[in-house]
Amino acid sequence: MEIREALGEALRRMRNLHGLTQEDFGLVSSRTYVSALERGIKAPTLQKIDDLAGRIGVHPLSLIVTAYLMQDPEIGIDGLISRMREEVIEP
């Protein structure tokens, strides 16, 4: 699964989990754009991920991390966080 497809699936799952429809994103995006994202046809910008996550009520990293976990479920959340601890540069 490509990351674009995984991000689309993560968006769809989080949207459904929070009881939102594609139409509920009208203030940040059109329904057709959200649909294209969820089907993995389009790849969002970082700003769009921030907007979408804000509409859902989650941190943008939650969408991104969920996508990467879907792409590689064997790493697990603990493995991914461990890797990020090693790689992230704190200000």
pLDDT digits (tens, 9 = 90+) for 29-61: 999 999 999 999 999 999 999 999 999 999 999
Superfamily of domain 3-87: lambda repressor-like DNA-binding domains (1.10.260.40)
86 vs 59: CA distance, rounded Å = 21
Tell me, what's the pLDDT at 90? Answer: 86
Model confidence band, residue 1 (pLDDT cutoffs 50, 70, 90): confident
The domain ranges of the chain are: 3-87
68 vs 77: CA distance, rounded Å = 10
Model confidence band, residue 91 (pLDDT cutoffs 50, 70, 90): confident
pTM of the entire predicted model: 0.89
Contact 31, 60 (CB under 8 A): no
Percent of the chain, pLDDT > 70? 100
